[in-house]
Structure 1
Amino acid sequence: MTTNADESTARPRRAPAGAAVLREDVTEAIRAAVFEELAAVGYARMSIEGIARRAGVGKTAVYRRWRSKLNLVLDVVSAMAVLGLPAPDTGSLEGDLRLLYEVMSRALRHPVASQIIPDLQAEAARNPEMAETLQKAVRDGQDGVASKIVAAARERGEVSADLDLDLALDLISGPLYWRAVIIRSPKLPKGYLANLAKATAGALKALQPPPGP
């Protein structure tokens, strides 16, 4: 049985243009290894060697794609943000929020995510580039879905057309993130997500437009 130590072993001829052909299956294996390595040892102890070993490739395969550990992690985080969350469309604000919270709860409480997110937050406090990428990931992902929920509620007349969008996004995203990531509650109380959706919908309906200049 041969090992996938280097992409060149699976390709008998060099690419005609002289550049390495980056196999997508190898790229995906490396990205998956990043999540596993982050969850296992954390960002500070994570190394290119460890990622390559976990992915079953040589270090050269990693360095062909990313020049450093930081670039690799930033790329993986950004790629996940692009995938985002599905925008609910249940026909009501409370229903949309309930579905969003169910998806968010499963994602945030996943064993890998629950290990990675706090570690990356800690690193972001020391690394401005990491902080900027994480903030963008949140805006492009979760906040993007929340904005669509608010827009749909506006069209149905459930909330003010001029409500404070930034405050609305804080109300939608904050409580569950606090419970799952900051407090790290091992188990949500029975009916918590339904009650949270009802309370958040009520708060959004009562929310006033932002104050003028």
Structure 2
Amino acid sequence: MSLTSCQQYSLDRTSKQSTTVEKYQFGDQDADIKPTQGGLQWFPDTSMWNIEDIQRELGHMTFKPASKWSVDRISRFFSLIERKSIELQQSRPGFGHQYQKLPISTVLNCANTAFGFCNWSSEVVPGSGKLVKYAKSDDAEQCYNVDYELKIRLILKDGTTLTRNGTGSARSLPLSQEFSKCRKEAMTNGLKNCFYSLIGLLVDYEGKVKDGYYDRYKS
């Protein structure tokens, strides 16, 4: 749902004062400002909007759950990740929470179980890849040390979208292998960061619902 605005200015040559008429467009439907006794009133009436509409209006769709579906599925994903983390922690006593150390295969299995195999997708943000470090290795000739960074975008079925950085590195490898290893590692790291960030979205969302954050925009 895109929000665009255009302004038309007219000048009253008699009073030498300018007035502004604004018109906002929601998708294919125009929503004009209409005068009332209490001043200007916006249309459409936001009092009947649901949370998804409010989030779209506020531009929050890229970092908030877009619907109840994603809230429920992220909660399930969180439970699965937590369970796997506990299992890994029990196998490594004394190391604390282990969810950051879960292999990508485990994270993807949890995601496919929680969201459904066809209900999420990811992509590399075009133009986001960059070299952070590029230097010849001191250990071997014709080998290099490379650090690489890119951005991964994760999109759920209902439109919930977030983007996170991913980093990769390679040490003392031929140049032909360095970039391939760095890019794959950065993509894996970025995707894991996206999935882990969903948990943060859920916690933030539930806290705002509890505090009545979204109700403020329904009055």
**Structure 1 length as normaliser, TM-score?**
0.24
Q: Bigger radius of gyration, 1 or 2?
A: 2
Higher strand share: 2
**Structure 2 length as normaliser, TM-score?**
0.23
Higher helix share: 1
